[in-house]
């Protein structure tokens, strides 16, 4: 195939298309940019079109790859259908899906968690990956290839009292990774990256003095740099992982290890 002939060690995603939710900033932007550098065209989906457009422009300027910005609130079921139709209408295929969009709103006490907050967290962190994996995954399977990468969290296995709805949603995401791997194989691989504390823009809201104290107990003694997610993402997105599916890979500096 022409795509296979063009694909080399420097362009392992040549001829492929990657759709990244939450792709306008943070880890999503890092992964989308890395995919484009590896030869892929990318779809950048996030709630605010202006941020998606800025990210897409930056990616194209850096990599000379096509980058399509799409405004999508992933917590809304009908917008997910529209996102998939837009991606396929523009490119004709999607080869890599990254379910990266997420949220973990703060709350004072567990009793203060409202039904609205709970439902929003579940919708964005669990319902959206389920629906997108079903929509895109079935098309990937029919096309004969594809890779789905879910972005979970160490909260799925070691949730703090401050993030219980989020941790529960991410634990569910870990679980469906295995289910989708069975449902969509052998053509489609489905894996999860479970990040620990990464120093993205989200860290601006952290108590950094407290974080630095806590980090002394981490095996690697620090938070992650955004670019340190790229190796795991490229592994799952490319043919380097052709015999890996249903896996959950912690990229967390060892913070999920038992104390």
Query: Tens digit of pLDDT for each residue in 13-36?
Result: 999 999 999 999 999 999 999 999
pLDDT digits (tens, 9 = 90+) for 57-76: 999 999 999 999 999 999 99
DSSP state of 127: I
Beta-carbon contacts of 5 under 8 Å, excluding residues fewer than 6 positions away, are none
Q: How many CB atoms are closer than 10 A to CB 218?
A: 16
Residue matched to tokens 């980058």: 67
Pairwise CA distance, residues 156 & 200, whole Å: 19
166 catalytic? Reply is yes
Reduced to 3 states (helix: H, G, I; strand: E, B; else coil), residue 18 is strand
Pair 60, 67: CB distance under 8 Å = yes
Q: Which of 88, 107, 166, 235 is catalytic?
A: 166
The three-point CA angle 229-49-134 to 5° equals 60
How many angstroms from the chain centroid is the CA of residue 62? 21
Q: 111: which 2 tokens?
A: 């009793």
- pTM here is 0.92
Q: 66: which 2 tokens?
A: 């096509």
Nearest CA among 238, 97, 106, 248 for reference residue 163: 106
Pairwise CA distance, residues 64 & 164, whole Å: 42
pLDDT digits (tens, 9 = 90+) for 89-121: 999 999 999 999 999 888 999 999 999 999 999
How much is the pLDDT for 218? 76
Mean pLDDT of the 227-242 span = 97
Taken in order of first residue, the domains within the chain and their CATH numbers are 11-250 (3.40.50.720)
Which segments within the chain are labelled E, that is strand? 17-21, 41-46, 67-71, 96-99, 146-151, 188-195, 248-251
């Amino acid at each position: 195939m022409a795509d296979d002939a063009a694909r080399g060690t420097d362009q392992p995603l040549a001829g492929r298309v990657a759709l990244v939710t939450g792709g306008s900033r943070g880890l999503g932007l890092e992964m989308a940019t890395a995919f484009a550098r590896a030869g892929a065209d990318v779809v950048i989906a996030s709630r605010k079109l202006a941020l998606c457009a800025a990210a897409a422009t930056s990616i194209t300027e850096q990599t000379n790859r096509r980058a399509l910005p799409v405004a999508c609130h992933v917590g809304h079921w009908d917008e997910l259908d529209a996102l998939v139709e837009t991606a396929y209408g523009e490119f004709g295929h999607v080869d890599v899906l990254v379910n990266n969009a997420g949220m973990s709103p703060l709350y004072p006490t567990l009793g203060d968690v409202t039904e609205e907050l709970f439902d929003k967290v579940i919708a964005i962190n669990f319902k959206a990956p389920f629906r997108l994996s079903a929509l895109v995954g079935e098309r990937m399977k029919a096309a004969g290839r594809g890779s789905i990468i879910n972005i979970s969290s160490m909260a799925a296995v070691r949730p703090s009292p401050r993030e219980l709805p989020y941790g529960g949603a991410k634990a569910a995401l870990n679980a469906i990774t295995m289910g989708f791997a069975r449902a969509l194989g052998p053509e489609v691989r489905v894996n999860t990256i479970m990040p620990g504390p990464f120093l993205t823009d989200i860290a601006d809201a952290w108590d950094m003095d407290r974080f630095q104290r806590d980090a002394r107990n981490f095996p690697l003694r620090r938070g992650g740099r955004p670019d340190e997610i790229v190796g795991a993402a490229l592994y799952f997105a490319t043919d380097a992982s052709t015999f890996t599916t249903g896996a959950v890979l912690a990229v967390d500096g060892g913070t999920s290890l038992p104390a």
